[in-house]
Structure 1
Amino acid sequence: MDCCLLLEIDCDHTGHLPPSYKACVKKEYETFPFNITPYSNHLGWSSSTDCCRWDGIHCYRNGHVVHLLLPFRGLQGRISPSLEDLIHLTHLNLSHNSLSGSLSHGFFISLKSIEVLDLSFNTLSGELPSSLPSTINTIDLSSNHFNRTIQSSFLQPAQNLSRFDFSNNNFTGSILSSICSNSSSIRLLDFSSNHFTGGIPQGLGACSKLHFSRAGLNALTGTIPDDIYNGTALQEISVPLNQLQGSISDAAGATCKQLNRKLAGVSNELYKSPSAELTVNLLFGDISALNFSNLQQLRTLDLGNNNFTGVFPPSLYSCKSLTAVRFASNQLVGQIMPDIAVLQSLSFLSISTNNLTNFTGAIRILKGCKSLSALILSKNFYDEAIPEDESIDGFQNLQVLALGGCRFTGTVPIWINNLTKLEVLDLSYNALTGTIPTWLGTLPSLFYVDLSNNCLDRGFPPIVGEFPALSSVTTYIQLNRTYLELPVFVQPNNVTNLQPYNQLSNLPPAIYLANNTLRGNIPSEIGQLVVLHLLDLSGNDFSGSIPDQISELINLEIPNLSRNNLSGEIPASLKNLHFLSSFSVANNSLEGPIPTGGQFDTFSDSSFLGNPGLCSAILQHSCTNTTTHPSSSSERPNKELNGTIIIAFSLELAIFLFVLF
């Protein structure tokens, strides 16, 4: 019985669990080859129940495990070799967990019956195992840390492969040229967000059933080969953010009816031959002069990060099937016109980093787009006043609102309180004044808030502890986990590659309040936000002690409390935060010993500099026989040193999230 292999125990001759098994197990999951975090979904497994009835496991009548489906279950650690003993397994889904390590060399050889494999959204690394099994038709290893090159022998046995997704990894080398000759039934190829070089290979035209071909965010050069258009089923060619150049072949006209579902060519130097009929010359020039009216079935239009000029193209309003539009990072001018409200299927709209005007008019018009779930208008409408009245309603489906970098004046507008499905709010880099409104903490789904770099003052409202999606693991897990029509891009610190996020649930829960004039104590209620990963309170006027309750933020990875007026000691309880990757309390008035143990032994002196009263070996200031005194106002480091303003430490996710894209 495969359950016995899965649990690494001996069964009786009938293949059933022995009666003594329950007594041998100290706790649930003990023998399961993954770790289950205390805050993950409860699997509901019990040693008193046949494992074929456990959630996520399906067996044939003979007891062989054929399906192991455990996405979003908080699994951690390496994949145990015992998993390879499930030789009858046909479907394996361990996606959206925290699995790490590499796959064994014989991983695919052992799972010789596997048909569907999904290990996406983990932190698996290393090179790929040997060749795929001949039975496989779907493989998704996207959003991991796999590297090295993909050898042609890896795909050779997989003649029935239909879906191949290796996006968002660290693969290098060339894209395989033999993939279609080995697997002519492929429908989706996704090599995007890796480090592939060279050109798009010849031979993709042999994939006669290919619907989607994606290779964006790599370092590809050269031209798009003509034979790719031989695939009459082709619906999407997406090659954004590469270094491609040259013309789009006239052969593309033969697939116009399919290709007009999606046109994506971000940041290349592609141009269209004047005699061709396919309107891929959208990539340059005055966009308002282009005619979109022939593309009645167009659903997704992604032309971000180019040099288009003109106004929002009026002919686009005839494309009633549009669900996603991105014109971010161009040179568009003018206003958003009322005609856009005819696009009732529009779910994703990004026009950030242009030169649009009249935000009040835009927001009153866009509320008529009833399907909008992501609205990204950052870095437009410069120096305008943000409308604050409650009469702005609608947006009942809005999950993402990004208005950063507009230099808006006014206060945090109360109409945002009507956005009951809002999950992500970016109002950073404006000139907003007043207080953090108490109603912000009552929005039921809000888990990512960026109010940094404004002029907000007064205190930090205690209601901050009431954020439902940040204070309840259950509520956070139940948030809408549907995929966005187009990804939003994040640029982590010291990383040149933009990281795409197609699903909001993959963004780390965060509160950014850096560089305001907030004062008073940090409320102890902040310890209720047990889901929080990132907390940036730097560059304010917070005073008093660091609340011990921060140690209750069990998922916290990056707290930044630097450049405030905090005093007292660093709570020793903070060393119990086991997920800290960085920590900063620099430039305050703290004193006493720096905690030791846990992650605190990994932090450098830069995390604590500018606190003359702190003592520790890493500061070369021994705590032995040392009497510490609070720093006087003249000793406390100023936010301005030697005439240079200190810029706040930018955390893992910065303004780049919505301002650039």
Structure 2
Amino acid sequence: MVAVLEIWVFVIILLVSLLQSQVLVISQNLTCNSDDLRGLRGFMDRLESPIDGWPTNSSSLSSSSRCCNLVGITCNSSSGRIVRFQLQNKRLTGMLSDLISNLDQLRTLNLSHNLLKGPLPISLFHLPHLEVVDLSSNEFHGVLPVTINLPALQVFDISDNAFTGSIPSGLCVNSTGIRVLRFAVNYLDGFIPPLFGNCHLLQHLSVASNFLSGVIPDLLFKLPRLQELTLQDNMFISITGIGNSSSSLVHLDVSSNRLTGNVPDFFHSFPNLSYFSADSNNLSGEIPPSLLNSQAISSLNLRNNSLYGSINFNCSIMVNLTSLDLSSNNFSGMIPANLASCLKLKTINLARNNRLIGQIPESFKNLQSLSYLSFSNCSLNNLSASLKILQHCPNLSVLVLSMNFLTEQLPSDEDLQFKALKALVIPGCRLTEIPKNLTQLPSLISREISLEEPSLDFGFFLKRNFSDRGLWLQYNQIMSLPPLLDLSRNFLTGPIWLEFGNLKELYNLDLKHNNLSGSIPDTLSGMRNIEMLDLSYNNLTGTIPPSLGNLFFLSEFSVAYNDLAGIIPSRGQFSTFTTSSFVGNPGLCGGFNLELKCEKIEELLPTDPASDDDDDDDESFIVWMVASIGFGTGFLVTVIVLVVVPIIRDNKRIRRMQALSINR
């Protein structure tokens, strides 16, 4: 009986103790620590914008305020002190108060993705418990302090601001546990601090897009836990060091600097390095043996340098290679047949190596994973054989062969099939005929074809290129490349095939600067997703089909310098096109906001089966009013046509328009 009583006494004491602790926590949550209160008030006083979920002004905060219940604030459950201050993506404006140092128990400070400005208070760099500082994507400026005393610091991110001066060397003196340092996209200059060699736990270092210079020091490659090192877009002149076999480095980017000399032959010291980019430097010489035999490399980008020699990767060892960009160099010889032994390759860019000769090897049939291939501006021949080989690559979706195959013709073999091809770029090749089978590409007819997403590693951007062949567009950025057919700047003759209208998923059709003749097919209105249509600089005759006004997503259009006549359509997107889209056709007139006046409109009116109703005049007037007040975008015109016009049109035409909208 005594033992039972003792047990009950113990239980009661325990319950009372727990109740007291809960009351203590509740009372602490109801009040605000005096130091934290001063820090919060100071923070609010320097802001120029309110914080959702906070009082409207600092005077509303008092010692009885529930500071721990404010949005973005987390307190320690036992002490009631603020330990996390997280107000990212709040569109905050103003400056950071020096009183932030009153939050002396703070462990996490995240004010990223706001509009905060001004210099950082010195006191911020002396908080003893601060582990994470993320001030990225703001408008902070000024010079960072040399002396930093943040012994608990693990993550420091001030990227995407406007800081100047040098990288603080004191970061790795007292903050020896730091794991992440990000200084990218600022205006920092000087050198990599030698004391960074003390950051033995550092895993990620990014100083990209600054004005740092000098030598990329060996000490970085000796950090045992460093996995990601991004140094691109600076002014570094050379790389030193050989690394070590125990390196953890996975990602190394030194692109867009001023590096000279040879590519370092140190890849045997980085057994885990899967991504290496050194594009847009002044590197020369041949690809080093350790890189040609790297088992770990999966993405390699050496574009835009002065490298030379043959391309001879050891694909029996490079079993992980998926992305290869060697464009804009001086490589020579035949296209290496053994490259097809790198069976995981998805992207290959060998463009602008005009000393690469011959034809695409038969072995390329084995590249079953290949999605993106560019041999633009090389010295290839035998287009017919090349296409027959590449059609065996089932995932090939982008093929760029511009500035090759001079005086050759596209094959008209009806058996030539590319099931996944969505972008074919062959300008500047002096081709003379458009094969009709280009109008039968399945991936441009139906969305049912499943295509892989573009490779993030494949450098492929679009820029203007001046050469002895005139001004033309050079494709270099795959991420923005839409489904397209580019056959411009050839010697193509004959008509524009009616069957082009079947390509419902085509976004860009470029046939400019050829010798095409005949009329513009009315069937082109079937390309319902077309955004750019360029038929300029040909020998086209007849009128512009009014049905092209139904192409609601057409944002760029040109038929300049042909021999067209008649009235320019005024419906749909044609209300947005300027005179430059139609110049060089003396017989054209009309159009919105154009100086091409029609003297005898009745004689020039084209026959439009879709506009037999008298109410179409009202429809044109509605669209004209929208364009006149500045709402000339395709989206708004589409809305007008889908909402207002059905009031005027009969039910049959309403249903047709709605069907087009649903399909889009």
1:62-73 superposed matches below 5 A: none
Deviation at 1:254, TM superposition (A): 4.7
2:297 to 298, 311, 322: 322
Tell me the residue number matched to 1:404: 376
Deviation at 1:302, TM superposition (A): 0.7
Tell me the residue number matched to 2:338: 365
Q: 1:233/1:150 Cα in 2 relative to 1: closer, same or farther (>3 Å)?
A: farther
1:386 equivalenced with 2:359 (yes/no): yes
Tell me the residue number matched to 1:244: 212
1:512 equivalenced with 2:486 (yes/no): yes
Tell me the residue number matched to 2:562: 588
Deviation at 1:468, TM superposition (A): 2.4
The amino acid of 1:129's aligned partner reads R
Tell me the residue number matched to 1:130: 92
Deviation at 1:247, TM superposition (A): 3.2
Question: For each residue in 1:444-479, what CA deviation from the matched residue of structure 2 results, as whole angstroms up to 9, or x when unmatched?
Answer: 222122111112112341x3233222222242xx32
The amino acid of 2:307's aligned partner reads L
Q: 1:424/1:241 Cα in 2 relative to 1: closer, same or farther (>3 Å)?
A: farther
Question: For each residue in 1:634-655, what CA deviation from the matched residue of structure 2 results, as whole angstroms up to 9, or x when unmatched?
Answer: xxxxxxxxxxxxxxxxxxxxxx
Deviation at 1:411, TM superposition (A): 1.6
1:490 to 461, 464, 479: 461
Question: For each residue in 1:583-631, what CA deviation from the matched residue of structure 2 results, as whole angstroms up to 9, or x when unmatched?
Answer: 111011111011124332222211111111101265533223166699x
* Mean CA deviation greater in 435-444 or 464-473: 435-444
Q: 1:392/1:272 Cα in 2 relative to 1: closer, same or farther (>3 Å)?
A: closer
Deviation at 1:431, TM superposition (A): 3.3
Q: 1:610/1:357 Cα in 2 relative to 1: closer, same or farther (>3 Å)?
A: same
Corresponding residue SS for 1:583: strand
The amino acid of 1:248's aligned partner reads I
Q: 1:533/1:268 Cα in 2 relative to 1: closer, same or farther (>3 Å)?
A: farther
Give the structure, 1 or 2, with the largest relative contact order (CA under 8 Å, sep 6 or more). Answer: 1
1:479 equivalenced with 2:451 (yes/no): yes
Deviation at 1:560, TM superposition (A): 1.0
Question: How far, CA to CA, are the matches of 2:302 and 2:481 in structure 1?
Answer: 23
1:425 equivalenced with 2:399 (yes/no): yes
1:458 to 392, 409, 433: 433
The amino acid of 1:370's aligned partner reads L
The amino acid of 2:213's aligned partner reads Q
1:600 equivalenced with 2:600 (yes/no): no
Q: 1:336/1:550 Cα in 2 relative to 1: closer, same or farther (>3 Å)?
A: same
Tell me the residue number matched to 2:24: none
Deviation at 1:561, TM superposition (A): 0.8
Question: How far, CA to CA, are the matches of 1:607 and 1:345 in structure 2?
Answer: 48
Deviation at 1:320, TM superposition (A): 1.3
1:439-588 superposed matches below 5 A: 442-461=417-436, 463-475=437-449, 478-481=450-453, 483-484=455-456, 486-491=457-462, 507-588=481-562
Q: 1:347/1:189 Cα in 2 relative to 1: closer, same or farther (>3 Å)?
A: farther
Question: How far, CA to CA, are the matches of 1:410 and 1:566 in structure 2?
Answer: 30
Q: 1:614/1:349 Cα in 2 relative to 1: closer, same or farther (>3 Å)?
A: same
Instruction: Let me know the Cα RMSD of the aligned residues.
Output: 4.8
Determine if contact 2:253/2:276 at 8 Å carries over to the other structure: no
Deviation at 1:567, TM superposition (A): 1.2
Query: How many aligned positions are there?
Result: 485
Question: How far, CA to CA, are the matches of 1:207 and 1:439 in structure 2?
Answer: 67
Structure 2: stretches of 5+ with no match in the other structure = 1-48, 56-69, 75-88, 94-105, 125-129, 466-473, 607-664
Question: How far, CA to CA, are the matches of 2:311 and 2:171 in structure 1?
Answer: 40
Question: How far, CA to CA, are the matches of 1:509 and 1:114 in structure 2?
Answer: 48
Question: How far, CA to CA, are the matches of 1:479 and 1:181 in structure 2?
Answer: 49
1:269 equivalenced with 2:231 (yes/no): no
Question: How far, CA to CA, are the matches of 1:250 and 1:288 in structure 2?
Answer: 15
The amino acid of 1:367's aligned partner reads A
The structure whose Rg is larger is: 2
| TM-score normalised by the chain length of structure 1 | 0.61
Question: How far, CA to CA, are the matches of 1:130 and 1:474 in structure 2?
Answer: 45
1:215 equivalenced with 2:189 (yes/no): no
Question: How far, CA to CA, are the matches of 2:195 and 2:167 in structure 1?
Answer: 10
Question: For each residue in 1:545-594, what CA deviation from the matched residue of structure 2 results, as whole angstroms up to 9, or x when unmatched?
Answer: 21223223232222111011111111222223233332111011111011
Deviation at 1:532, TM superposition (A): 2.1
Question: For each residue in 1:368-389, what CA deviation from the matched residue of structure 2 results, as whole angstroms up to 9, or x when unmatched?
Answer: 11111111111114372324x6
1:310 equivalenced with 2:285 (yes/no): yes
1:17-166 superposed matches below 5 A: 129-130=91-92
Corresponding residue SS for 2:295: coil
Determine if contact 1:222/1:243 at 8 Å carries over to the other structure: yes
Tell me the residue number matched to 1:12: none
1:144-223 superposed matches below 5 A: 186=155, 191=160, 198=164, 202=168, 210=179, 213=182, 215=184, 221-223=189-191
1:616 equivalenced with 2:590 (yes/no): yes
Question: How far, CA to CA, are the matches of 2:510 and 2:50 in structure 1?
Answer: 42
Q: 1:241/1:213 Cα in 2 relative to 1: closer, same or farther (>3 Å)?
A: closer
Question: How far, CA to CA, are the matches of 2:505 and 2:54 in structure 1?
Answer: 39
Q: 1:349/1:281 Cα in 2 relative to 1: closer, same or farther (>3 Å)?
A: closer
Question: How far, CA to CA, are the matches of 1:249 and 1:505 in structure 2?
Answer: 33
Question: How far, CA to CA, are the matches of 2:159 and 2:571 in structure 1?
Answer: 44
Determine if contact 2:421/2:443 at 8 Å carries over to the other structure: yes
Determine if contact 1:263/1:300 at 8 Å carries over to the other structure: no
Question: How far, CA to CA, are the matches of 1:180 and 1:579 in structure 2?
Answer: 57
Question: How far, CA to CA, are the matches of 1:470 and 1:180 in structure 2?
Answer: 60
Corresponding residue SS for 1:434: coil
Tell me the residue number matched to 2:349: 376
Deviation at 1:334, TM superposition (A): 1.0
More helix by share: 2
Question: How far, CA to CA, are the matches of 2:196 and 2:216 in structure 1?
Answer: 11
The amino acid of 1:404's aligned partner reads S
Question: For each residue in 1:394-450, what CA deviation from the matched residue of structure 2 results, as whole angstroms up to 9, or x when unmatched?
Answer: 111111111101132332412111111112111112234111555797322221221
Question: How far, CA to CA, are the matches of 2:575 and 2:303 in structure 1?
Answer: 43
Question: How far, CA to CA, are the matches of 1:136 and 1:585 in structure 2?
Answer: 60
| TM-score normalised by the chain length of structure 2 | 0.61
The amino acid of 1:130's aligned partner reads L
1:416 equivalenced with 2:416 (yes/no): no
Question: How far, CA to CA, are the matches of 2:358 and 2:578 in structure 1?
Answer: 43
Question: How far, CA to CA, are the matches of 2:212 and 2:310 in structure 1?
Answer: 32
Question: How far, CA to CA, are the matches of 1:311 and 1:237 in structure 2?
Answer: 29
Q: 1:185/1:352 Cα in 2 relative to 1: closer, same or farther (>3 Å)?
A: same
Q: 1:160/1:204 Cα in 2 relative to 1: closer, same or farther (>3 Å)?
A: closer
Question: How far, CA to CA, are the matches of 1:383 and 1:316 in structure 2?
Answer: 21
